[in-house]
Amino acid sequence: MLCIAFGFSDSLAQTSTPSDSALIRSIYDEVLTNGEAYSNLRTLTKTIGHRLSGSPEADRAMVWGADLLRLYGADSVFVMPVVVPSWTRGDVAAAYVTLSNGEREELHITALGGSIGTPGDSIITAGIIVVNQLTDLDSMEADFTEGKIVLFNRAMNPVLINTGSAYGGANDQRGRGAIAAARVGAIGALVRSLTHSLDTLPHTGAMYYSEEVPRIPAAAISTVDARKLAALYKEDSNLRVSFIMNCTALPDVEQGNVIGEWTGSEYPNEIITLGGHLDSWDIGEGAHDDGAGIVHTIEVLRALKAVGYTPRRTIRFVLFINEENGNRGGEKYAEIAASELEAGENIYVAAMESDAGGFSPRGFSMDAPDDLVAQVKEWAPLFEPYNIHRFKKGWSGVDIGPLKELKKRPFLIGLVPDGQRYFDFHHSSSDVFENVHKRELELGAGTMASMIVLIDKYIPAP
């Protein structure tokens, strides 16, 4: 197999040809004229709905995805089994603040993914502490923190133009806030929603516990209510917050990554992975996160078949499971890839992911050596007519991230749409089909399909 890989690499005498421009034009024309990504997204979101790992909806989405891959001509379709966590939000999540004068105001909350419910599914009431950093708790006296509810009120940094970076700079309070609060004796945690938007919609997301401290209930609170609560606390430090949730963990279940393969005509054992994650949070419909990535992935298969493209390498279209609360699908895929590589069965050449929403594409972020990044940058003129201009080294995606640990590391690349509005919808009840723009979604699919063709033709095997 190695001799085949090296032979392919030696054939890369140029990075592109004039015919590539015509092929890319035909791909965009096909997607923008006959594209089915938008109608497929409607079915996924409106017929199936949200798709939390372990849920019956996720099971139905797996069947839907497999059927669609077969319909569009994948040579083989199969499920890679993955044991995933199962958790239910329940049907109760409510909170209010009571001021010293007896006035009461409602607060908008929702459970963070993986949280326990309030003890006995009953209301808990306590004074609060307002902090911006987890480390703020370290300097507080125990008699001040014990028995309190901690409000983590750090906003996403507004001056960072890359909203993903702003999100990454704030999500430690969501992921580890309950641990930090429990360590100082608090009985609950409220975390400001991770969004630049000022609204009353709480944005959920994964949180974690530690065996070293007690588990306490943790909820997301809307940005409007987090600001309001912090302001009220400045005026009335004796106010009390009450909240109730009946979420609970369930036993793990077996689901899986849905995989469609299009066998390469020249190098069938050289694998190009393309995917998004099929699971979503259980509020909203998971339209941008990551229904868009799923229909992008499937549309690449349909569009390339429609324009008559024949891939040299095998393209795997992967609908990953469990990205939101564990990434077990991505880890299992990398585990299988490592075993295939060790056995000399397959070489993983590249992997591409769409998990940043269905907005207008701007370019790509590459987790790759400098020489490959430079090679892709040489393709910029091919994408210029479509307003694709970002070709930078950086983060590629959660699902394909574990592949970087392979002994022969593949080229990793992520689609980068315009992200300024992504976190308005992310992990909230507003992540619905109606908030995805048809043309923007289709442009993303055309951009991914075009990049897959160039990767197939020119990126060398590792």
Q: So what's the pLDDT on residue 15?
A: 64
Q: How far is it, in rounded angstroms, from Cα 259 to Cα 279?
A: 14
pLDDT of residue 18: 73
Contact call for residues 445 and 296 (beta carbons, < 8 A): yes
| Chain centre distance of CA 211 | 27
Domain boundaries, the chain: 2-86+251-458, 90-246
| pLDDT tens digits, 242-299 | 999 999 999 999 999 999 999 999 999 999 999 999 999 999 999 999 999 999 999 9
C-alpha 134/C-alpha 144 separation (Å) is 16
| Whether the Cβ atoms of residue 213 and residue 179 lie closer than 8 Å to each other | yes
Per-residue CA distances from 119 to 218, 438, 455 (Å): 12, 45, 53
Three-state secondary-structure class, residue 276: strand
Question: Phi, psi (5° rounding) for residue 213?
Answer: -135, 160
Pairing state of beta strands 248-262 and 267-277?
Answer: unpaired
pLDDT tens digits, one per residue of 226-239: 999 999 999 999 99
User: What's the pLDDT tens digit per position in 295-314?
Assistant: 999 999 999 999 999 999 99
**Chain centroid offset of residue 415 CA:** 12
Residue 351: partners with Cβ closer than 8 Å, 6 or more residues away: 272, 273, 274, 275, 396, 400, 403, 410, 411, 412, 413
CA distance 322 to 281: 10
Is residue 340 within 8 A of residue 406, CB to CB? The reply is no
Q: Which amino acid is at 363?
A: G
pTM for this one?
0.95
What CA–CA distance (Å, rounded) separates 66 from 261?
A: 11
Q: How deeply is 58 buried, as exposed, middle or buried, from its count of CB atoms within 10 A (0-12, 13-18, 19+)?
A: buried
Distance CA 221, CA 212 (A): 26
Q: How far is CA 99 from the centre of its chain?
A: 39
Q: How far apart are CA 315 and CA 6, in angstroms?
A: 19
Pairing verdict, β 411-417 and 361-367: antiparallel
- What is the model's pLDDT at position 121? 92
The answer to whether the CB of 221 falls within 8 A of the CB of 107 is yes
Task: State which CATH number among 3.10.180.10, 3.50.30.30, 3.90.1640.10, 1.10.3720.10 fits the domain covering 90-246.
Answer: 3.50.30.30
- CATH class belonging to 2-86+251-458: alpha beta
Per-residue confidence (pLDDT) for residue 8, from 0 to 100: 40
Residue ranges of the chain whose pLDDT lies below 50: 1-13
